Structure formats: C-alpha cells, structure tokens
Amino acid sequence: MNDIVGSGPCTGTGGGGTGGGGSSGGDSVGVITSSIFDCIFNTIDATLRANRFNGLKATGWTPANKDEAAVFLAHVFHETDGLKTMREYCAPGCGPQYSGTWCSISAAPEKLYYGRGWFQLSWPCNYYNAGQSLGIDLLANPDIVENDPKTAVNTALWFYNANGMAAPAQRGDFAATTRIINGALECNNGPGYNNQLTRVATYKRARQCLDIGEPSINPVC
C-alpha cells in the first residue's frame, strides 16, 4: 500500500491448500455468505478461513451491496496474500522504515509499525489514529492488529471509512479505491502498474464469486 496505510506483504507468492468445508457453518456478513468468502479466499485452509471470517463477523460491519463487498475483499486479498498473513512478510526487518511521522505522534520506544491486519496498517500516525477510533492503544500495542482477528479487520475498516472508500466501492469504482490506497505507485502506469493488474484480476474474480459479472466501470486507474 501507499505511505498512508502500508505496503502489503513484501512478497506475493502463493502456497497453501484450498482446504475444505465452509467458513462458518453457513453464516453470512450481509451479502457475503460463507460460501462466497470461501470462493474469494481460496488459497487458505478451512480452519484459518473460518478464523478470518469470524473476525469479520465480530466487527458488525456489512457491505451496502455486492459491489462494495467485491471491492473491499479484493483489496484485502491483495494486501494479505489471500489472508495468509496478518503482517508483512518482510517484518520485523522492515519495521524501521516505518518509523517516520507526518503528525504530532512519534513511535513508541522499541515498537515497530510495519504493515499488519487486513489492510496492512503502517506508520505510527495511523496506528495512533486507528487506535483512537477503536478505543485501543495501538501505538503502544501494535501487535494487537496482527494477533486479534477483530482488530485486524477493524483497522482496515477504519482506513476504508476515514479515506472515503465506501462511496466509490458501492458504485463499483474499483479504480477510484485503488487510487486512494496506492495511487502514487500503481495508477497512471506508475512503477507498480503490474501490481495493480494483479489487484484488478483479484477484483474480477471476487465479482465472479459474488455472481455480479464483469465491472461496468473500468477497474484500472
């Protein structure tokens, strides 16, 4: 991701079996049924997938429509290597590169703010602001984002809502949401353009899982 959230897993290589069975015995998060969740996150085993799905259910969030579900979950898949990891693969070694600040908040002593959670939250300012919104001291306890399934999702939802991603997501404008997350790198033929194409392919697959067909708005920014 960009400097606002994080950089996602340092590698995007796959692995892991598809597993079997549903995520949570037929439960749903609005339009996201367990079978749809299984379809989208098809590279992790059933036990891990159930854990991730339960984290989503615990937040109480539901997407407004299937377009929003496809957009949000596609970005989650891309940033977490299909929910395989809740922290950057380069961590903790890459932690010091996230020690900078653009706000009045500084890093806590001996704490690292590399990407964690469903949107790979990074940087001290973001950990502080997300924590303030959620009522958790994430600046002092950044590992909560990685280790608590509900907080892993809630920090992604915090960024998603704080940066106005819901409106374009609900109208199926994936390109607009990519621009918010990582526009400087991935949009307009930037150095991460090929990375964007992988993100778009995941989005199209998520739409298939949700049975809403091809995007009506160009998903490439």
Catalytic positions are: 79
Chain-centroid distance of CA 130 in Å reads 14
